[in-house]
Chain A
Amino acid sequence: MDLVSGLFEAITASSTYVNAALFAGLLIFAASGEWIAERSGTINISVEAMLLAGAFTSAAGYTATDSFPVGIICGVLGGMVVAGVQAEMSHRLTADQFVVGLTLNILILGLAGFLARVVDLTTKTAPRWTIPGLSRIPLFGDALFGHPWPFFLLFLVVPLAWWLVFRTRWGLEVRASGEDPQAGDVSGIDVNKRRRQAIYFAGFTAGLGGAFLIFVQVGRFDEGVVSGRGFIAIAAVIFGGWTLRGTIAGCFVFALALALRLQLPNYYEGVPTELLQAFPFLVTIFGMALFAHRVRAPAALARPFVRGLK
């Protein structure tokens, strides 16, 4: 099979889109919270650790209770515990946000790997819901409207993130904190508190993302279940120029790349799998190279704020 027709088969297969929707769901959960954290001025690289912690605690929660809602709530709590460490360390104790994030990513990877070996986790995917009518749309129907039910939490989280940032006073203060913390401080905003709260929100959505991995996409926990997708979520925020719409679009582009990686080996024999595995990350790098210089980051992104200093 030649290159072009193989690619054509891959992008017309509805299973590609089902997989893409699953990858996109995970990325969108992670990226919508990451987007708010970045708008407040933090490059929250511990989103990777938040996803993994959320995945582990949701699996543990389900193992203990056999309840999907309890599992999801445990996932949220797991993501928020990591967020708590990140937020308090970098925006109360003024530790460097990258050092804290890097440390958390390594720590949680080790911890989750260890605990997964000690605890016997039994999990499965949640019951599948299909939205009548909509799921029959050709090519995209199944991808968007036929999944295990926690998938549909996405349709709540994204509008919630938008509403918080653009329609509430809290969101206005978060944006001001990410653009000009001095001006925010002079105006009477507790900048570091808003930044901490934004990271907690990132922990909340990444925790949901972790639960999504277990109950929608994979069905069981292992320590490699996240494997760098938190970083792709960060790339999606940059790709999207720190707008929510662009971020979601970025998630879909990168998710499609991840899905094609799964699909392509069916059509190309003999292509090294390592090369195919690198494919989504190549797309990510090209996406960043194309868009990173055309967009404007929050002016105070990654700059710590200490009161009274210039």
Chain B
Amino acid sequence: MNADHSELTGVGADAASTPAVELRGVTKRFGAVTACDSVDLVLQRGKIHGILGENGAGKSTLMKILIGLVLPDEGSIHVDGQAHQIHDPLAASKLGIGMVHQHFSLVDALTVWENVALGEAGRLDPQAVQHRIGEIGEHYGLTIDPMARVGDLTAGLRQRVEIIKCLRRDPSIVIFDEPTSVLTPEESMTLFASFRDVVAAEGRAVVLVSHKLDEVIAATDEVTIMRQGKVVDEMITADADAPTLARAMVGRDVSLRGERAAFGLVNAAAADPADVGTSDDSTPGDPSSPAVLSIREASARSPQGITLLDGLSLDVHAGEILGIAGVEGNGQRPLGDLLSSLVTLSSGEVRVSGEIVSTKTPGAMASAGIGVIPEDRHDSGVVLDMTVAENLVLIDPARAANRGVLDRTRLVESAEQLIAEFDIQCAGPDAPMWSLSGGNQQRVVLARELSYEPKVLVGAQPTRGLDVGAIEYMTSRLRDAASDGVAVLLISSELEEVLDLADRVAVMFRGRIVGEMARDAVDVEQLSLLMGGAAV
């Protein structure tokens, strides 16, 4: 297969001898943390090169160096054999390096063509840009309306705009940064299939940054594995298999189911019956019992009039985990916000143990017994400049106070207890929150929410940005909560995580639940169609 590619490129032996990009000894430190530690990397024309690593392994810092968003402290970058300093994205684009970002390079309020033209030089010529978008769309099978407003597009179409924006500058080196987190499995397979052809035919060098093993195995020719800022291994993808790659990535054998789910390795069809057993050790909730959390026909709009939730209904029973699958941006965030009392419904209702909970009163959901591990812990989960102890009582400070005055002894005592119980690595109750690692900050959130003995626990993307160890801890805690009789709602855009944990899977599309199935009855193809909005 690799041989086929180099023949088809027609660039020949030259390309093999002069790599498109060569990084030597690239090092970047952020304070005491070394994000990249003398990294060497060689990218060849006509090949798809995978960069595999856990969250925090230094993949994205390395790519930011390559496109000029971060300046390296040491090391050299050669493009086509010439040494270069890449100071900003414009310099990178002049060298032919383009990046397809996950979702943060598009401006919602602008149209497709305005976004594509953004960041270029020269006179603005709307007709030429619109024409070129049509050409690229035809050439790569990425058709799109250039006059559409980007904010109105689905995640898949936005990804299309990102790709067109990148290809429009005719880059010789294309970097894909974790492209599949916003795509359905179908969409990502199509995307990579078409990219193999493009790479082969046009002799571009492609980098695929990912933490998902199956994606890397399916789509790449070569793979570089990073761990803690260092390159630990390089191999030809055809010679590698999933266990080898996983071992190189984590530095030890990977056996735990949760870990494998984190790498996208849980075979969604659950072909291995032994695997299913692990999630069955908790008794799933009895569907005939009344639901603890019940949402009926919930609809909400943003102040700008955008539909957030559109007649969403779901039930979660005591002792079960309901997983919400779906492509990001289909209302998962508003659902989490609704259960954090951040969204007011225009119609519909939320009941906890049969009692209606007001969606207008701040804090009503927490008082009703709903604990939430929020999607973005920095945004709404913890206050970084406060101490661990203060963060632990943040929801209901009255617990550590006498008539409104904080009782320090009680505050510290309860904090110490939770720190021990949840094994939070920190200097003590008075340590500032920002001094904790991401995994430990998430443990603080988890400890706080569980210490209130909630009836309902909502995990909104609870493992995002955590490393494998922390993911494993979080998933086992969610399982424990369910087996203790808590109704658990897991909202995750990682399909593997949902399939690994949930007893029932519900699919969310455009603000509503479009399908639901028991874990044992999951058909991944059907699930994928539902996620893409097909009526099944």
- Which residues of A are interface residues toward B (Cβ below 8 A)? 167-169, 172-173, 175-176, 179-180, 182-189, 293, 296, 298-299, 308, 310
Q: How far is the CB of B110 from chain A (nearest CB, A)?
A: 7
Beta-carbon nearest neighbor of A295 in chain B: B304
Q: Could you list 7 further interchain pairs (A-B, Cβ under 8 angstroms) beyond the known A183-B104, A296-B109, A299-B109? A: A169-B121, A172-B117, A175-B110, A176-B110, A187-B119, A188-B93, A298-B109
Q: How far is the CB of B419 from chain A (nearest CB, A)?
A: 27
Among A179, A182, A310, the residue within 8 A (CB) of B109 is A179
Q: Would you call B106 an interface residue if the criterion is a C-beta within 8 Å of the partner chain's C-beta atoms?
A: yes
Which residues on A sit within 8 Å (CB–CB) of B303? 293
B104 touches A188 (CB 8 A): no
CA distance A191 to B165 in the complex (A): 19
CA distance A169 to B122 in the complex (A): 8
Q: How far is the CB of B67 from chain A (nearest CB, A)?
A: 9
Q: Would you call B421 an interface residue if the criterion is a C-beta within 8 Å of the partner chain's C-beta atoms?
A: no
A179 touches B124 (CB 8 A): no
Which residues on A sit within 8 Å (CB–CB) of B88? 188
Which residues on B sit within 8 Å (CB–CB) of A173? 118-119
A299 touches B108 (CB 8 A): yes
Which residues on A sit within 8 Å (CB–CB) of B120? 169
B104 touches A186 (CB 8 A): yes
Which residues on A sit within 8 Å (CB–CB) of B304? 296
CA distance A310 to B120 in the complex (A): 23
Which residues on A sit within 8 Å (CB–CB) of B109? 175, 179-180, 296, 298-299
A187 touches B105 (CB 8 A): yes
CA distance A293 to B88 in the complex (A): 38
Q: Would you call B89 an interface residue if the criterion is a C-beta within 8 Å of the partner chain's C-beta atoms?
A: yes
Q: How far is the CB of A292 from chain B (nearest CB, A)?
A: 12
Q: Would you call B521 an interface residue if the criterion is a C-beta within 8 Å of the partner chain's C-beta atoms?
A: no
Most buried by B among A173, A176, A183, A293: A183
Beta-carbon nearest neighbor of B114 in chain A: A172
Among B70, B93, B105, B124, the residue within 8 A (CB) of A183 is B105
Interface string of B89-104 (1 = CB under 8 A from A): 1100100000001001
- Cβ-closest 9 pairs across A and B: A187-B119, A188-B119, A188-B89, A169-B124, A186-B105, A188-B90, A180-B107, A179-B109, A187-B118
Q: Would you call B123 an interface residue if the criterion is a C-beta within 8 Å of the partner chain's C-beta atoms?
A: yes
Which residues on B sit within 8 Å (CB–CB) of A293? 303
Which residues on B sit within 8 Å (CB–CB) of A168? 124
Beta-carbon nearest neighbor of A173 in chain B: B118
- Which residues of B are interface residues toward A (Cβ below 8 A)? 69-70, 88-90, 93, 101, 104-110, 114, 117-124, 165, 303-304, 378
Which residues on A sit within 8 Å (CB–CB) of B105? 183, 186-187
CA distance A184 to B304 in the complex (A): 22
Most buried by A among B105, B118, B120: B118
Which residues on A sit within 8 Å (CB–CB) of B124? 167-169, 172
Beta-carbon nearest neighbor of B106 in chain A: A183
Which residues on A sit within 8 Å (CB–CB) of B107? 175-176, 179-180, 183-184
CA distance A269 to B137 in the complex (A): 71
A176 touches B118 (CB 8 A): yes
CA distance A172 to B120 in the complex (A): 11
Which residues on A sit within 8 Å (CB–CB) of B114? 172, 175
Q: How far is the CB of A75 from chain B (nearest CB, A)?
A: 31
Q: How far is the CB of B258 from chain A (nearest CB, A)?
A: 28
Beta-carbon nearest neighbor of A178 in chain B: B109
CA distance A176 to B104 in the complex (A): 13
With A169-B120, A189-B119 given, is the CB distance from A179 to B104 under 8 Å? no
Q: How far is the CB of B178 from chain A (nearest CB, A)?
A: 15
Which residues on A sit within 8 Å (CB–CB) of B119? 173, 184, 187-189
Beta-carbon nearest neighbor of A190 in chain B: B88
B108 touches A180 (CB 8 A): yes
B70 touches A308 (CB 8 A): yes
5 intermolecular pairs with C-beta atoms under 8 Å apart: A172-B110, A175-B110, A179-B107, A179-B110, A293-B303
Which residues on A sit within 8 Å (CB–CB) of B89? 185-188
With A186-B101, A188-B119, A189-B118 given, is the CB distance from A179 to B93 under 8 Å? no
Which residues on B sit within 8 Å (CB–CB) of A183? 104-107, 118
Which residues on A sit within 8 Å (CB–CB) of B104? 182-183, 186
Which residues on A sit within 8 Å (CB–CB) of B118? 172-173, 176, 183-184, 187, 189
Beta-carbon nearest neighbor of B88 in chain A: A188
CA distance A122 to B89 in the complex (A): 54
Q: How far is the CB of A269 from chain B (nearest CB, A)?
A: 47
Q: How far is the CB of A101 from chain B (nearest CB, A)?
A: 25
CA distance A308 to B109 in the complex (A): 22
CA distance A246 to B250 in the complex (A): 58
Q: How far is the CB of B392 from chain A (nearest CB, A)?
A: 24
CA distance A138 to B246 in the complex (A): 83
CA distance A180 to B105 in the complex (A): 9
Beta-carbon nearest neighbor of B120 in chain A: A169
Which residues on A sit within 8 Å (CB–CB) of B69? 185-186, 308
CA distance A240 to B473 in the complex (A): 52
Beta-carbon nearest neighbor of B89 in chain A: A188
Q: How far is the CB of B306 from chain A (nearest CB, A)?
A: 11
Beta-carbon nearest neighbor of B126 in chain A: A167
Q: How far is the CB of B490 from chain A (nearest CB, A)?
A: 25
Q: How far is the CB of A241 from chain B (nearest CB, A)?
A: 12
Which residues on B sit within 8 Å (CB–CB) of A299? 108-109
CA distance A60 to B514 in the complex (A): 71
Most buried by A among B89, B90, B104, B107: B107
Which residues on B sit within 8 Å (CB–CB) of A180? 106-109
Which residues on A sit within 8 Å (CB–CB) of B108? 179-180, 299
Q: How far is the CB of A97 from chain B (nearest CB, A)?
A: 21
With A186-B69, A186-B104 given, is the CB distance from A169 to B117 under 8 Å? yes
CA distance A179 to B104 in the complex (A): 12
Q: How far is the CB of A162 from chain B (nearest CB, A)?
A: 14
CA distance A180 to B106 in the complex (A): 8
Q: How far is the CB of B209 from chain A (nearest CB, A)?
A: 15
Beta-carbon nearest neighbor of B121 in chain A: A169
Q: How far is the CB of A154 from chain B (nearest CB, A)?
A: 26
Which residues on A sit within 8 Å (CB–CB) of B123? 169
Q: How far is the CB of B130 from chain A (nearest CB, A)?
A: 14
Which residues on A sit within 8 Å (CB–CB) of B70? 308
CA distance A86 to B512 in the complex (A): 47
Which residues on A sit within 8 Å (CB–CB) of B122? 169
CA distance A176 to B119 in the complex (A): 10
Beta-carbon nearest neighbor of A168 in chain B: B124
Which residues on B sit within 8 Å (CB–CB) of A188? 88-90, 93, 119
Most buried by B among A186, A189, A308: A186
CA distance A310 to B123 in the complex (A): 31
CA distance A296 to B303 in the complex (A): 9
CA distance A73 to B235 in the complex (A): 67
Beta-carbon nearest neighbor of A298 in chain B: B109
CA distance A182 to B107 in the complex (A): 9
CA distance A155 to B424 in the complex (A): 66
Beta-carbon nearest neighbor of B125 in chain A: A169
CA distance A186 to B88 in the complex (A): 9
Q: How far is the CB of B359 from chain A (nearest CB, A)?
A: 20
Beta-carbon nearest neighbor of B93 in chain A: A188
CA distance A89 to B104 in the complex (A): 28
Which residues on B sit within 8 Å (CB–CB) of A187? 89, 105, 118-119, 165
